[in-house]
Chains A and B, each alone.
Chain A
């Protein structure tokens, strides 16, 4: 909670202006446990790039990957809080400097280019002093995969949507000799 509020005050001012500055309002308005609404919009855009909607079906946004990551950051992944805060801040500073826009406001192809630069650690070093862009991006990739392909009870993979796309039946019990017809 402490982290969350501080993060909001830091990045929130730049993003939203002053309308949401009352901390008591923030908690009521935000559907998130860790992220501020502004941070969440950036993470949602990141995750959708990592697993986009396509001809197979919805992507990370529709699967609710943001809720998976948000929930774990105040639970099992609490040790990754700082990395998210530093990573998101560095990403936004880089985007503002390079494109004069926040990451989530950039067009799809520009976002993609930014992520490729992050992956190969080619982001402007002065914004990435505390954290390597490659490690931050790898962290988000891992969490996005977990949120998209893992059990829905952790907040992501809404209605097993990724399983449906892969053609996997569920529940997962396969009856004995179910496979005999393939012989």
Chain B
């Protein structure tokens, strides 16, 4: 049975795709939203640390199935390793309706104006593809606002002197600090820093017909038991469906984008929930499958006209894979200082984002998300015992006496950090899988050392009896904050899409996720991905004229 032709296909129901599907459906386009996972179910994963999005040793709570979705990791010495979503180095992002927005910590950061102009702010960096974005903060500002109000953000940035300009305040009041947040924020103030409540995609008051957050300890890494955490699965995707114009097709694995002899795309080939190969045609296709899977899909869509994959005439698809090198410090205090009110992280400060001597970009620092007991076994000072009597005593004595400050450092993009497709390894459906290779730019580790030292200074000021740094910034990039693999730009020779996410040379193929990012900011990227969804959809709906595009 052939599926009915539709106006638009959106591949991937995460942050970007959920938004695009809703915007197109509301404008009257018929949409099929493909998702390789299913709808998230809270009851399946309640409080189980070992099957969460943070610790997936017994399974990736929100997908994908670890037996069906291998990847290949290529090390600097050329050796290769098969990895699965429950092993390190896979760079997993959730595969379910809502994707990462179901289980994230829900920080709702806007990038700063400088984040869109790294090259003109800091100049050329050796060994890097550091560049300005083709769009500015001002271009994206209205779409940040839309994301904040439609998905729902609680915050107040009036205490943040580095906050980018905004026309409208947040729709919900901020969350208050937890116990250790209060203590650390006071220390920040004594040091002349500027702490303020983290803007959160969670309800501080009832919003959008759903209740307020209950400060559940198992928040980050888990689905919310009261539905007080906001993602595309409980906001824009239900809205898209309510228009009657959008069908969400779950458990469908899209294998390739089909293009015709004229060089336009005409739909996708996919496998349905029964593993049966099918085709869906459409006037236009939007890919929002995450930086790794979007790149994979473009690279796997080969034809006579596009022998290297779609959008890849100049070998830029899959390049510049970025994520965030998390870095910071931890401290032990004499008394119990944490109350485990979820999600843990309550305040941040932007004093170390931009305009710090010798640092390109920099990064945010926040107090930490709750470390559940198994995760806490890995938080130890250098040289501390990892097992035995000493391990256990540390665990029992210190789980409530430990506080940390961490943040995502601006990674310096580089051309060799990349996604390719493996020619030998296929997934369950026979589709060539993602291969990840390359390493972070050496500067990242230096930046991390600098930011970790700043974090440690705050912990000392707060009265920690013992402190240590956890310094990131080495090895493979990517991970849950993956970005950069289908860079937007004005020059088709050095980018994959134009400033609207439209793939160069293919007017009916778009990308709408973190893949578009030229750089990944010193912030958690979710809100910027949501805003980019609105930005791309805005362009599509404004230029769409039935089956073609207004010039």
Contact = CB atoms under 8 A, between A and B. Distances in A.
Interface of A: 49-52, 54, 56, 59, 72, 76, 112, 115, 141-142, 144-146, 149-151, 153-154, 162-163, 165-168, 170-179, 182-183
Given A52-B388, A145-B374, A151-B48, A174 B179 contact: no
A174 B342 contact: yes
Nearest to A141: B387
Given A150-B49, A171-B47, 9 more contacts: A52-B388, A54-B392, A76-B86, A146-B57, A149-B373, A154-B50, A166-B400, A172-B218, A176-B215
Interface in B289-313: none
B339 A76 contact: no
Contacts, number: 110
B59 interface: yes
Max count, chain B CB within 10 A of own CB: residue among A72, A115, A142, A172: A172
B1 interface: no
Max count, chain A CB within 10 A of own CB: residue among B59, B342, B374: B374
Contacts of B391: 50-51
Contact of B339 (A165, A170, A172, A179): A179
B393 interface: yes
Nearest to B183: A182
B395 interface: yes
Contact of A182 (B58, B179, B213, B217): B179
Contacts of A112: 388
* Main DSSP-derived SS at the B contact region: loop
A59 B373 CA distance: 15
A31 B401 CA distance: 39
5 contacts: A51-B388, A51-B391, A54-B393, A144-B387, A175-B214
B387 A162 contact: no
B386 A178 contact: no
A158 to B, nearest CB: 14
B399 A166 contact: yes
A151 B499 CA distance: 47
A112 B373 CA distance: 24
Interface in B37-77: 47-50, 57-59, 66
Contacts of A52: 388-389, 392
Interface string B168-187: 00000000101100100000
Contacts of B399: 166-168
A49 B374 CA distance: 18
Contacts of A149: 49, 372-374, 376-377, 395
